[in-house]
């Protein structure tokens, strides 16, 4: 692309505006009216300057270029920069009699980038979440994301923001809204905190929500799916609100059912806080500190962390999904994202081979155990294929029967990732697909050189939840 393309874009926008102006009053086809949905605000006078869909596309290209020149790609929504450019193009191009050249266009783009940079600042976002009823420990620290109990959140808020008047900016309406918001948060047992650096507020909120979801996915993995499948990252009601259900039976008449939101907050018992301090789980938390950083910055350059988080996302969605068939598919997608590096490969064979190698350290393998693990992977992938290709009903009993195996395999490979790769590898910008492919191909003999045995995937670490007979906990 030539260096003068921004000037050519402006010239195209001007020509589109002239074309549409000439069309006014003429007989026009149905598509022409759509062009008037894309316009610039008229400079100094009421009205609009239609530039058409093609012209607006050029505005967005220029907006992306302005952001790029300021090294803010991913930090600023392109639409925000486009809004700035619409006004400047209207005033400086259409509202001026002077000739516009490359220098003037560069200045407009530079001004746009500067204006957008002013909207970038460090932000801390808080989100109410459904976790457990237990209020200990006061804070669960995963690095970029922290979960605060109700008392912990109140303490953090008092210590960090003692000056309420400064937060309210002297606006009584803002003070009222703050109190309403804090009252709403007070209805939840846990509040998530995510810290985002140097982004536009819209981007920062998106990153923070994504980071909190990934942090909850880590809790699913560390604590265990049967204890955490009701964790929720985006509750719409306070935990003390009630849910109602109405039905009418043909013989017995009206049926009413009421349940409270607190049913989503699972009691884990007094022993659970110590779990996070135990050897394996503490190590997983330390890896979470490293990996979750990739969720708090735009355009992260850590391929291995991103791949792991992709797999973890499929796993977390499977855990929270109430549908058994869709959970099976998501668990297998987790495995594929973690183990596959080339779409042209024989998926089944490569998945079986790599899962068998990565799923167990060399010194613990025997031919019998390896055969059992390989067969388990084959059966899991066969179940997924039947569902995807329509040869098996999602309501078939074999789906529920195979769900536990799918979950256990996904958990095993996720945890082996955490112990097989060092923190510096998760932060290595050069650890691309080719390097991972080479690593995978060497796991049969090399993985034991830097892997440690862990026991947490072998047996439950907490008393089995009282809800164990419910269908969802077969996962």
Q: What is the pLDDT along the chain (475 residues), one digit of tens a residue?
A: 678 899 999 999 999 999 888 876 565 555 555 666 788 888 666 678 889 999 999 999 999 999 999 999 999 999 999 999 999 999 999 887 777 889 999 999 999 999 999 999 888 999 999 898 888 889 999 999 999 999 999 999 888 888 766 666 666 777 788 788 888 888 888 999 999 988 999 999 999 999 999 999 999 999 889 888 888 887 766 555 666 667 776 677 776 776 665 456 777 777 677 778 777 888 899 999 999 999 999 999 999 999 999 999 999 999 999 999 999 999 999 999 999 987 666 888 888 888 888 876 655 567 787 788 889 999 999 999 999 999 999 999 999 999 999 999 999 999 989 988 999 999 999 999 999 998 888 765 455 444 454 554 444 445 544 443 343 445 5
Alpha carbons 95 and 91: distance in angstroms, whole number: 4
Query: How many angstroms separate the CA atoms of 222 and 454, rounded?
Result: 12
Neighbouring residues of 59: CB distance < 8 A, sequence distance ≥ 6: 13, 51, 82, 85, 86, 89
- Predicted local distance difference test score (pLDDT) of residue 239: 55
Provide the pLDDT for residue 347: 83
Q: Which DSSP string do the residues of 415-440 spell out, in sequence order?
A: HHHHHHS-HHHHT-TT--HHHHHHHH
13-25 as b/e: b if 16+ CB within 10 A: bbebbeebeeeee
In DSSP terms, 200 is beta-bridged to: none
Helix (H, G, I), strand (E, B) or coil at 242: strand
Tokens for 198, please give them. 């140097």
Could you give the CA distance from residue 222 to residue 288 in angstroms, rounded to a whole number? 10
Rounded to whole angstroms, how far apart are CA atoms 453 and 265? Answer: 32
N residues, the chain: 475
- From 200, 197, 226, select the one nearest 319 (Cα to Cα): 226
28-39 b/e with 16+ CB inside 10 Å = b?
eeeeeeebeebb
Residue 409, Cα to own-chain centre: how many angstroms? 22
For residue 288, what are the contacts with CB-CB under 8 A and spacing of at least 6? 142, 143, 215, 218, 222
- The tokens 């600042």 sit on which residue? 121
Q: How many CA atoms lie within 13 A of 455 on its CB side?
A: 6
Residue 305: both structure tokens together: 């962390």
Q: Are 72 and 114 within 8 A, CB to CB?
A: no
202 — alpha (psi -120 to 50), left (phi > 0) or beta? Answer: alpha
Structure tokens at 10: 């402006």
What is the distance between the alpha carbons of residues 83 and 59, in angstroms, rounded to a whole number?
Answer: 9
Yes or no: say if 267 and 133 are a contact pair by the CB < 8 Å rule. yes
From 75, 76, 71, 62, select the one nearest 1 (Cα to Cα): 62
User: Tokens 């907490």 appear where?
Assistant: 462
Burial class (CB in 10 A: 0-12, 13-18, 19+), 380: buried
Whole-model pTM: value is: 0.85
Looking at the chain, the number of H-run helices and the number of E-run strands are 20, 8
> What SS3 class is residue 390?
coil
Kindly provide the b/e burial profile for residues 345-357, where b requires at least 16 CB atoms within 10 angstroms of the residue's own CB: eeeeebbbbbbbb
Q: What is residue 228's three-state secondary structure?
A: helix
- The C-alpha atoms of residue 163 and residue 388 are separated, in whole angstroms, by 56
Cα(471)–Cα(166) distance, integer angstroms: 50
Residue 191 CA: distances (Å) to CA of 208, 275, 295: 13, 20, 18
Residue 167 · residue 178 · CB < 8 Å? yes
Please report the pLDDT score of residue 453 as a whole number: 47
Q: Residue ranges per domain, the chain? A: 5-117, 123-241+262-474
pLDDT, position 456: 45
Place of tokens 């135990």: 278
pLDDT on residue 158: 87
Dump the DSSP string for 151-204: HHHHHHHHHH---HHHHHTT-HHHHHHHHHHHHHHTTSSEEEEEEEEEE-HHHH
| Inter-residue contact 214 to 233 (CB < 8 Å) | no
Q: Where are the alpha helices (DSSP H) in 36-171?
A: 52-69, 78-89, 102-117, 150-160, 164-168
CA quadruple 45, 47, 53, 56: dihedral sign: positive
CB atoms within 10 A of CB 198: 15
């Amino acid at each position: 692309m030539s260096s003068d393309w921004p000037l050519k874009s402006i010239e195209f926008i001007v020509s589109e505006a002239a074309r549409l102006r000439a069309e006014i009053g003429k007989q026009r086809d149905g598509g022409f009216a759509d062009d008037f949905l894309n316009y610039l605000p008229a400079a100094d006078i009421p009205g609009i300057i239609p530039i058409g869909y093609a012209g607006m596309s050029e505005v967005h290209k220029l907006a992306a270029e302005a952001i790029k020149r300021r090294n803010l790609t991913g930090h600023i929504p392109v639409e925000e920069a486009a809004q700035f450019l619409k006004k400047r193009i209207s005033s400086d191009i259409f509202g001026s009699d002077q000739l516009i050249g490359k220098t003037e266009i560069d200045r407009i783009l530079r001004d746009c980038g500067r204006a957008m940079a002013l909207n970038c600042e460090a932000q801390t976002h808080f989100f109410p979440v459904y976790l457990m009823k237990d209020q200990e420990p006061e804070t669960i620290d995963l690095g970029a994301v922290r979960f605060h109990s109700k008392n912990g959140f109140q303490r953090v808020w008092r210590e960090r923001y003692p000056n309420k008047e400064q937060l309210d900016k002297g606006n009584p309406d803002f003070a009222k809204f703050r109190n309403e918001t804090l009252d709403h948060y007070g209805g939840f047992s846990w509040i998530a905190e995510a810290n985002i650096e140097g982004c536009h507020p819209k981007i920062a909120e998106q990153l923070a929500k994504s980071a909190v979801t990934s942090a909850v996915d880590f809790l699913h993995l560390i604590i265990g799916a049967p204890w955490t499948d009701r964790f929720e990252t985006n509750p719409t009601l306070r935990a003390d609100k009630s849910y109602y259900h109405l039905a009418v039976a043909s013989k017995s008449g009206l049926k009413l059912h009421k349940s409270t939101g607190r049913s989503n907050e699972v009691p884990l018992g007094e022993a659970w806080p110590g779990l996070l301090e135990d050897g394996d789980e503490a190590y997983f938390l330390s890896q979470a500190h490293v990996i979750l950083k990739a969720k708090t910055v735009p355009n992260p350059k850590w391929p291995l962390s991103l791949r792991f988080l992709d797999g973890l996302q499929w796993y977390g969605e499977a855990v929270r999904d109430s549908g058994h068939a869709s959970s099976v598919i998501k668990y297998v997608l987790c495995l594929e994202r973690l183990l596959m590096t080339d779409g042209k490969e024989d998926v089944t064979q490569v998945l079986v081979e790599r899962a068998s190698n990565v799923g167990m350290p060399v010194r613990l393998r025997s031919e019998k155990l390896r055969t059992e693990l390989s067969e388990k992977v084959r059966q899991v992938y066969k179940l997924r294929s039947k569902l995807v290709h329509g040869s098996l009903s999602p309501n078939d009993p074999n789906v529920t029967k195979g769900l536990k195996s799918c979950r256990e395999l996904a958990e095993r490979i996720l945890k082996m990732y955490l112990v097989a790769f060092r923190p510096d590898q998760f932060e290595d910008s050069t650890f691309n697909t080719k390097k991972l492919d080479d690593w995978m191909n060497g796991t049969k003999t090399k993985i034991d050189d830097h892997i440690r045995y862990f026991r947490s995937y072998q047996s439950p670490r907490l008393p089995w939840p009282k809800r164990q007979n419910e269908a969802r906990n077969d996962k």
